[in-house]
Chain A
Amino acid sequence: DVKVTQSSRYLVKRTGEKVFLECVQDMDHENMFWYRQDPGLGLRLIYFSYDVKMKEKGDIPEGYSVSREKKERFSLILESASTNQTSMYLCASEGGARYGNQPQHFGDGTRLSIL
């Protein structure tokens, strides 16, 4: 089974802090994704990466950046945390050819609170 591991289940940070959310997958998948999930809004794509050192903006990239230095690890960075970034953050990975027909595999999420 594919394993996607997010480093923290719960995280509390203060406004203005730089926050790192880490995600590691163990299946040598090319594609990795960061979503945020908010009640009534479903999942919204923040950033994705289809190769090491490659990244693409999703629907809501403002206030976030990402890093992918190794294939198995995809980090989400909140440069200066704000209260409106309090949310559930989900990481996903996906393998296979670039035809869009493979399912995404999700981590258990990080519930981030910004005070």
Chain B
Amino acid sequence: AQSVTQLDSQVPVFEEAPVELRCNYSSSVSVYLFWYVQYPNQGLQLLLKYLSGSTLVKGINGFEAEFNKSQTSFHLRKPSVHISDTAEYFCAVRVRGSNYKLTFGKGTLLTVNP
């Protein structure tokens, strides 16, 4: 079975600073990888996904993530954050061609301070 570890439960940063949210997964087979964002009192929205091809994936709101197969990681980055990026971020993994189960990490709360 696959699993996801988000290494930081909370990440505080100052506005305009760069940020990296870390995600590691374990799976014995090939996977699809996703990052979702949850703003306060809302559901989850897709930020970006890795299916195949280029290991650097660009998403919405200036976020990008890099798939590293050898390190089984899919870290999320943004070069300069805004106050409005304050939210909880979830990494998720799904085995390719699998029976629909998406496994989520426990989330990282990003707080951007002025």
Contact = CB atoms under 8 A, between A and B. Distances in A.
B67 interface: no
A43 B43 CA distance: 11
A42 B93 CA distance: 13
A30 B41 CA distance: 26
B42 interface: yes
A contact residues, range: 20 to 34
B14 interface: no
Contacts of A98: 100
Contacts of A45: 101-102
Interface string B32-74: 1010100001111110010100000000000000000000000
A33 B101 CA distance: 9
A34 interface: no
Contact of B42 (A48, A58, A94, A108): A108
Contacts of B101: 45, 48, 58
Contact of B107 (A42, A100, A107, A108): A42
Contacts of B51: 101
Contact of A103 (B42, B46, B90, B105): B46
Contacts of B99: 56
Interface string A77-106: 000000000000010101000111101111
Nearest to A43: B104
Nearest to B34: A103
Contacts of A105: 46
Interface of B: 9, 32, 34, 36, 41-46, 49, 51, 90, 94-102, 104-107
Given A40-B106, A50-B100, A100-B100, 20 more contacts: A31-B100, A33-B100, A33-B102, A40-B9, A43-B44, A45-B101, A45-B102, A48-B100, A48-B101, A90-B43, A94-B100, A100-B32, A100-B97, A103-B46, A104-B46, A106-B36, A106-B43, A106-B45, A108-B41, A109-B43
- The 8 A-B pairs with the shortest beta carbon distances in the complex, nearest first, are A106-B43, A42-B106, A103-B46, A43-B104, A106-B44, A100-B94, A42-B104, A108-B43
